[in-house]
Structure 1
Amino acid sequence: MAPTPDLRTYLRSLSAETLAGLLYEQAERDQGLRAELEQRAARDCHGDSTVAAAHKLLDDAPPRSGSSGLNGDGGGEGFDHATTMSAVLDTMQRLLDGGSRADLAPLALRTVDKLGAELGADPAGTAGSELERAIDLYARACRAHPPAPAALADWLLEVAFERPNWPRIDLPPFAGALGESGLRRIKSAVDTMLADDACTGRRRETAERLLEQLAETSGDVDTLVEMLSRKLPRLDVSLRIVRVLRGAGRHAEAIAHAASALGPGKGPLRAPVVDALAETYHEVGQGDEALTLRRNEFRRAPDYDGYLALREAATGLGCWESERVAATELLTARAAADPTGADDLVRALLAEGEAEQAWQAADRYGASLELRLELARDREAENPAEVIGVYRSHVEELIAHRDVAGYRQAARQLRKLRTLHKRADKAEEFGAYLAELMETHKRKTRLLAEVRNARIALPKVSR
Structure 2
Amino acid sequence: MNSPADLRVYLRTLDVETLVELLCGQAARDPELRQSLELRATTQGKDVAEAHRLLDTAVGGGNVDYGAKIGAVLDTLQRLLDAGSSADLAPLARRTVDDISETVEQSGDHSGELADRLERAVDLYARACAARPPDPERLAEWILEVEFDGPGWPAIELADFASALGEKGLRHIKSTVDAVLAEGGTGPRREIAERLQEELAEVLGDVDGLVALLSAKPPRVEVSLKIVRVLRAAGRHSEAIAHAARALTLDKTEPEPEPEDETVSLRRKEFDAEPNRHTYAALQAAAVAAGRWSVHHRAAMSRLREAAREGQQGADELTHVLLAEDRFDDAWRACVRFGASLEVRAELAELRADEHPADAIPVYRGRIEDLIERKDPQSYREAARQLRKLRTLHRRAGSTDEFTEYLGGLVETHRRKTRLIAEVRAARIALPKPRAPQPVTS
Q: TM-score, normalised by structure 1?
A: 0.48
Seen in structure 2, the aligned counterparts of structure 1 residues 257 and 43 have a Cα distance that, compared at 3 Å, is farther
Do the aligned partners of 1:235 and 1:273 also contact (CA within 8 Å) in 2?
Answer: no
SS of 1:267's equivalent in the other structure is helix
Match of 1:268 in 2: 267
Q: CA deviation at 1:22?
A: 5.6
1:143 equivalenced with 2:130 (yes/no)? yes
Seen in structure 2, the aligned counterparts of structure 1 residues 123 and 170 have a Cα distance that, compared at 3 Å, is closer
SS of 1:86's equivalent in the other structure is helix
Q: CA deviation at 1:20?
A: 4.5
Q: Distance in 2 between matches of 1:58 and 1:96?
A: 19
Q: CA deviation at 1:132?
A: 1.2
Q: Distance in 1 between matches of 2:184 and 2:236?
A: 35
Match of 1:210 in 2: 196
1:190 equivalenced with 2:177 (yes/no)? yes
Q: Aligned-residue CA RMSD in angstroms?
A: 3.1
Do the aligned partners of 2:61 and 2:107 also contact (CA within 8 Å) in 1?
Answer: no
Q: Distance in 1 between matches of 2:102 and 2:89?
A: 20
Match of 1:244 among 204, 223, 230: 230
Q: Distance in 1 between matches of 2:132 and 2:74?
A: 18
Q: CA deviation at 1:241?
A: 0.9
Q: Could you report, residue by residue, the CA deviation over 1:306-331 in whole angstroms, capped at 9, with x for unpaired residues?
A: xxxxxxxxxxxxxxxxxxxxxxxxxx
1:19 equivalenced with 2:25 (yes/no)? yes
Which ranges in structure 1 are unaligned for 5 or more consecutive residues? Answer: 1-7, 28-33, 67-78, 277-463
Match of 2:80 in 1: 95
Match of 1:181 among 158, 168, 174: 168
Do the aligned partners of 1:58 and 1:111 also contact (CA within 8 Å) in 2?
Answer: yes
SS of 1:268's equivalent in the other structure is helix
Within 5 A, what are the aligned runs for 1:31-110?
41-63=38-60, 80-110=65-95
Q: Distance in 2 between matches of 1:165 and 1:40?
A: 43
Seen in structure 2, the aligned counterparts of structure 1 residues 17 and 145 have a Cα distance that, compared at 3 Å, is closer
Seen in structure 2, the aligned counterparts of structure 1 residues 229 and 21 have a Cα distance that, compared at 3 Å, is closer
Seen in structure 2, the aligned counterparts of structure 1 residues 64 and 225 have a Cα distance that, compared at 3 Å, is closer
Do the aligned partners of 2:201 and 2:207 also contact (CA within 8 Å) in 1?
Answer: yes
Question: Which range moved further: 86-95 or 255-264?
Answer: 255-264
**Structure with greater Cα Rg:** 1
Match of 1:165 in 2: 152
Q: Could you report, residue by residue, the CA deviation over 1:277-316 in whole angstroms, capped at 9, with x for unpaired residues?
A: xxxxxxxxxxxxxxxxxxxxxxxxxxxxxxxxxxxxxxxx
Seen in structure 2, the aligned counterparts of structure 1 residues 152 and 21 have a Cα distance that, compared at 3 Å, is closer
Question: Which range moved further: 208-217 or 52-61?
Answer: 52-61
1:133 equivalenced with 2:130 (yes/no)? no
Q: CA deviation at 1:242?
A: 1.1
Which ranges in structure 2 are unaligned for 5 or more consecutive residues? Answer: 1-13, 253-264, 276-442
Seen in structure 2, the aligned counterparts of structure 1 residues 97 and 19 have a Cα distance that, compared at 3 Å, is closer
Within 5 A, what are the aligned runs for 1:352-391?
none
Match of 1:449 in 2: none
Q: Distance in 1 between matches of 2:230 and 2:39?
A: 45
Q: CA deviation at 1:43?
A: 3.9
Do the aligned partners of 1:262 and 1:270 also contact (CA within 8 Å) in 2?
Answer: no
Q: Distance in 1 between matches of 2:44 and 2:101?
A: 26
Q: Distance in 2 between matches of 1:42 and 1:19?
A: 17
**Partner AA of 1:87 in structure 2:** A
Do the aligned partners of 1:172 and 1:213 also contact (CA within 8 Å) in 2?
Answer: yes
Q: Distance in 2 between matches of 1:177 and 1:259?
A: 39
Q: CA deviation at 1:147?
A: 0.6
Q: CA deviation at 1:126?
A: 3.0
Match of 1:230 in 2: 216
Q: Could you report, residue by residue, the CA deviation over 1:83-110 in whole angstroms, capped at 9, with x for unpaired residues?
A: 1111111111111112111111000111
Q: How many pairs were matched up? A: 243
Q: CA deviation at 1:21?
A: 6.0
Seen in structure 2, the aligned counterparts of structure 1 residues 239 and 42 have a Cα distance that, compared at 3 Å, is farther
